Amino acid sequence: MENNLNNLNQKNAPVVNYNAADDEIDLRELFTAIWQGKWIIIVITALFAVASVFYAINQPNIYKSEALLAPAEEQQNGGLGALAGQFGGLASLAGVNLGGGNTSNKSQLAIEILKSRQFTSNFIQKHNLLPNLMAVESWDLSTNTLTYDPDVYDPANNTWLREVKAPKQAEPSLQEAYKVFIEVISVNELKDTGMISLSVEHKSPVVAQQWVNWLIQDINAEMKNRDVDEANRSSEFLTKQLNQTKIADIRSVLYKLIEEQTKTIMFANVRDEYVFKTIDPALVPEEKSGPKRALICVVGVLLGGLLSTVLVLVRYFTNQGKNN
């Protein structure tokens, strides 16, 4: 009885023929779909090509000015090094820094300060860089003049005209300016030589060179002022301690510490290239560094061809599914 029921169920069961090849995409069908939609692909690719060429042509040239710097040698290392070995513990207790001879650490500190928000904000304000940083549209080679975006800035009246949503204002804030400025400067240490490469990109090659020179001058001045201020504070403290002690040996040590701080101040005041010494100065570049117009056009054509091909295939298989 059970055998008869099983035979009956097998006869009534629907027959399903599964062929794994049905789930595979036929390459000939793909080529057929692409061939049928060739004109769509050609038209869309051509439109993308024209758009990319138009976009590339209208992009202003970007120029890059670069300087090669070397960490300046600490000529006063001898005296400080000797004192650090003899009286380092006492100097530390007094809050006096005798370890200033580490040129590598000082140059690394200078690089980080140069990229800091505070230094950048002061630099932008000092040299009034906001218009040339945030509103330049193009640069005229024949007249060496900058053209500003009329919707952003009016140079005749020194007025900002851009329309932005709160909390932003018409005149860019220093936070906005920092984000833009940090993108156009580059500071890299060359590991093999220990040299520092400082570069600036701008639509004007003259402005790019000028900013590089200003950055070198200002970071040297900033590091010099920091060391001079620290040496002055140390000298004041040591002088007070000297007046309060009568022990001959301690007074002798304090005299030597004050002498080294005085040397630091003198050395800083007679040396302009305090932290970075210019090996190869920045020049006004004659050739642009960007944009890569040919690459923009190639990417535009490839993108148009890819998108149009996908569109044709989606359309073809959608119609095939409806017909089936």
Q: Cis peptide before 291, with omega less than 30 degrees from 0?
A: yes
Summarize the confidence of residues 286-298 as an average pLDDT.
Answer: 90
Residue 266 banded pLDDT, cuts 50, 70, 90: confident
Q: Which of 84-93, 96-105, 140-149, 299-308 has the lowest mean pLDDT?
A: 84-93
Does some domain include residue 27?
A: no
| Shared domain check, 244 and 130 | yes
| Shared domain check, 270 and 224 | yes
| Shared domain check, 227 and 180 | yes
Going by the DSSP 8-state scheme, the letter that residue 275 receives in this structure is: S
List the structure tokens of 39: 């004109």
Backbone angles phi, psi at 197, to 5 degrees: -105, 125
Greater pLDDT, 258 or 75: 258
Summarize the confidence of residues 224-238 as an average pLDDT.
Answer: 89
Q: Answer yes or no: pTM beyond 0.95.
A: no
| Shared domain check, 215 and 141 | yes
pLDDT at position 265: 85
| Shared domain check, 74 and 54 | no
Residue 172 banded pLDDT, cuts 50, 70, 90: very high
Q: In sequence order, which ranges of the chain are alpha helices (DSSP H)?
A: 2-12, 27-36, 38-57, 77-94, 103-114, 117-127, 130-134, 174-184, 205-244, 248-269, 293-323
Backbone angles phi, psi at 139, to 5 degrees: -130, 135
Going by the DSSP 8-state scheme, the letter that residue 146 receives in this structure is: E
| Shared domain check, 67 and 53 | no
Cα separation, 178 vs 124, whole angstroms: 9
Does some domain include residue 274?
A: yes
Which residues have CB under 8 Å from 197's CB, separation 6+? 66, 67, 68, 69, 186, 187, 188, 189, 190
Q: Structural domain of residue 50, as residue ranges?
A: 41-59+291-306
Backbone angles phi, psi at 95, to 5 degrees: 80, 20
Summarize the confidence of residues 57-76 as an average pLDDT.
Answer: 85
pLDDT digits (tens, 9 = 90+) for 11-31: 554 444 444 444 455 778 888
Cα separation, 270 vs 275, whole angstroms: 13
| Shared domain check, 301 and 243 | no
pLDDT at position 24: 52
Amino acid at 196: I
Share of the chain above pLDDT 70, in %: 82
Q: Is 14 in a helix, a strand, or coil?
A: coil
| Shared domain check, 193 and 74 | yes
| Shared domain check, 244 and 203 | yes
Does some domain include residue 316?
A: no
Residue 242 banded pLDDT, cuts 50, 70, 90: confident
First-to-last C-alpha distance (Å) of the chain: 43
| Shared domain check, 164 and 46 | no
pLDDT digits (tens, 9 = 90+) for 105-135: 888 999 999 999 999 999 999 999 999 999 9
Cα separation, 307 vs 292, whole angstroms: 23
| Shared domain check, 236 and 218 | yes
Does some domain include residue 50?
A: yes
Mean pLDDT of the chain: 83
| Shared domain check, 169 and 70 | yes
Cα separation, 242 vs 253, whole angstroms: 9
Does some domain include residue 318?
A: no
Number of folded domains that form the chain: 2
* CA-based torsion, 221, 72, 269, 98: positive or negative: positive
List residues bridging with 153 in a β-sheet.
160
